[in-house]
Structure 1
Amino acid sequence: YILPRIKEILERIYSDRLEDVILYGSFAKNMPTQDSDIDIAVVLKGKVNKAKEIDKIYDALYDLILETSELISVYPISEKEVDNSVWPLYYHIRTEGIKI
C-alpha cells in the first residue's frame, strides 16, 4: 500500500520529468528482513543533482514516513545513467528492479 503512495508523491513533485519509479533490493527480491528498508530508484529525465534531489524527495515523503514508520531509501538517477552504467547498483536496478 505504501508503494503506490510513494509513486503518487513523486509524480506530483516531478510531473513529466519522472521517467520511472523502481523498487529494488530485498523487497524486490521478496526477501526483506525486519531491518530492511524500502529501496526506491527514482529515474529522472535530464541531469540529476543527487544531493538536491534526495533533499527534495525526502521533504515530499516526510509525512508518509512519519505515518508508516517505514524506512525508505531513495536513489535519484538519470535515465541515461541507469541504462548505460556498468556500476553494480545500476545493474541490479536494471535486472532485479520492479517498476512501480
Structure 2
Amino acid sequence: MDKKNQLKNVAFGGDWSESIKFNDEISVIVKRLENIYKRCSYEYIQDSEFNDILEYVENNIEKGQIFSHSFQRNIRYEDPLKRKYELLKTINLIKKWVRR
C-alpha cells in the first residue's frame, strides 16, 4: 500500500504511521547500501556510516544479522567484480525480504 492510500485510511486506525516511517527508513538504508555497492570496486569501505547502516539492518529488519554478516563478509572479497556481485545479491535479498 502506498503512502497516499495509507493516509486515506487514517480513520480506520492501525499502524499506518509506523509503517510509513519504517518504509521511508528502509528506502534510505537501501539507497545507502547501493551507494556503498557503487563505491566498493575502487574504494575501501569501512567507515562509521557503513557501521551505522549495518547496525540499523541488524536491529530493525527481520533476519538483519544474517544480512549484516553477509554484507560484511562480501565486502572483503579481493576481486572487485566478485565483491560487487555478492554485495548486489545481498542488497536484492534485503529488498525482497522487507517487501514481504
TM-score, reference length from structure 1: 0.30
Normalized per residue, which structure has more helix? 2
Normalized per residue, which structure has more strand? 1
Larger Rg: 2
TM-score, reference length from structure 2: 0.30
Larger relative contact order (Cα-Cα within 8 Å, sequence gap ≥ 6): 1
